[in-house]
Chain A
């Protein structure tokens, strides 16, 4: 099963999201910033789904999605932005960059899992 790549500069978010996903049967790969996530992807990591924060030191989440979309292996990989950001124009940027969806923190665990099953059904271990 392909892992879900979690990208967030918040250790709390990385830990809580990892717990939710792993307890639900998903495999997780974590990156504390966009640059690290990009390095992992360039090194051969092929996630089944990317969930990234928007505001991070250095490259932000939308820039990361744009960079990941340029990699052939991740061209069609679903990518979600999980952020506190609420502005419409930021959502539009994400959409143009190739994001699959936009989730505002805090997102309920069951809703998060529902979205994952929707955008990446092949990753859902309990549906398989």
Chain B
């Protein structure tokens, strides 16, 4: 497709500048680099346009207008062959056009340098971004160190918790063992006392039987004494004494039983009361110790729990920061994409420069490179594209169809 016709010659440089600068500025602006690159791009757009617009009377014009070339007249000869380009007989329009085309030389030099500078600036910006990312990486390493210290502290607390647990278990075991042994001893003592009490019961039983037998003997003696008459009077006295003895024996036996029972009750009451009080005191002290240990353990594990939560949050933060840093490292690839697009624009400018020089040479009647036509310029420009955006923008600008089909960004063969 041919380039659209441009207005008169003095405006062409300005349009060329804007045509190059504005897309370039827009490119950086669209890329969205959070950096002065975008501003530089827009500034370059304005700069190129301004430079081009002021090239007419620009003091950089140092190239003298070439002398007219004598070319034989003919139907295929350039206009310059029949109309002198400079000097008194020169056609004013041709002379002005040649001068303007010559004036474009510094513009292209400036534009080329500006583009190179722009590439360098993007590289410097990318380098700065990478440096800042490394600083973030250092911060992340510090955070990781803090996490490590916290983890060590948590491990220490866990160890202390284990120790407290072990101490508590030991104490409990010792306490239970002592209680078991104490119970066994107590049971043995009680069994012995119970046996002794049973023996005493047996003794009082024998005494009671003796008393009953004595009473029965006294009763029989009284009967026999009465049957014996006066001969048994003496025996009656004995029988009476026997009965009195039996009565006292029964009374004594009953008193002994009551005393034994009283002693038994007193022993059990006093012993158990004493033991219960001692046990209660011991258990209270033991429980207090256990509670103190449990409190210590509880505090330790509360700290551990808080540390674990803190550690988890820090781990999450570090993970997120690390992921973001990785992503931003990837985003820096934009610089290479932009660089290649800028270089493509630089190549396009060089081609445009060559075409304009050819036009000037043609006006001067010099031989020109037939390959330097706008169509071929566009073809070569298009062939230099590497990114899909370049192809798409080209198609959009020229109204042509974009032959680039949508390809996957990642393809494994």
**A residues neighboring B (CB under 8 Å):** 8, 10-13, 15-17, 19-20, 23-24, 54-55, 83-88, 91, 94-95, 99-113, 115, 118-119
Contact = CB atoms under 8 A, between A and B. Distances in A.
Given A15-B130, A83-B386, A102-B411, A107 B340 contact: no
Interface of B: 123, 126-127, 130, 133-134, 137, 322-323, 325-327, 329-337, 339-340, 386-388, 391, 404-405, 407, 409-413
Most buried by B among A19, A113, A118: A19
A86 B410 contact: no
Contacts of B329: 16-17, 19-20, 23, 109
B138 to A, nearest CB: 12
B133 A19 contact: yes
A21 B357 CA distance: 49
Given A84-B387, A85-B387, A102-B412, 20 more contacts: A16-B332, A16-B333, A24-B326, A54-B386, A55-B340, A86-B386, A101-B410, A102-B411, A103-B409, A104-B388, A104-B409, A104-B410, A105-B333, A106-B331, A106-B337, A108-B327, A109-B326, A109-B329, A109-B330, A118-B412
Given A55-B340, A88-B405, A23 B412 contact: no
Contacts, number: 111
Nearest to B133: A19
A101 B335 contact: no
Nearest to A103: B410
A87 B407 CA distance: 8
A107 B123 contact: no
A23 B325 CA distance: 10
A19 B130 contact: yes
A84 B330 contact: no
Contacts of A110: 323, 326-327
A108 B330 contact: yes
A105 B331 CA distance: 9
Contact of A86 (B126, B333, B388): B388
Given A109-B327, A112-B330, A12 B130 contact: yes
A111 B137 CA distance: 20
Contacts of A17: 329
Contacts of B325: 23
Given A23-B326, A100-B412, A104-B409, A86 B130 contact: no
Interface of B (DSSP majority class): helix
A104 B388 CA distance: 10
14 contacts: A11-B127, A12-B126, A12-B336, A12-B339, A15-B126, A19-B134, A20-B326, A20-B329, A91-B407, A102-B410, A103-B409, A106-B331, A110-B327, A118-B412
A7 B77 CA distance: 53
Contacts of A86: 386-388, 391, 404, 407
B410 A111 contact: yes
A87 B336 contact: no
A100 B413 contact: yes
A59 to B, nearest CB: 17
A12 B335 contact: yes
Contacts of A108: 327, 330
Contacts of B134: 19
Contacts of A87: 404
A19 B405 CA distance: 33
A100 B413 CA distance: 5
B337 to A, nearest CB: 5
B301 to A, nearest CB: 32
Contacts of B126: 12, 15-16
A21 to B, nearest CB: 10
A107 B334 CA distance: 10
A63 B316 CA distance: 44
B322 A88 contact: no
A11 B336 CA distance: 9
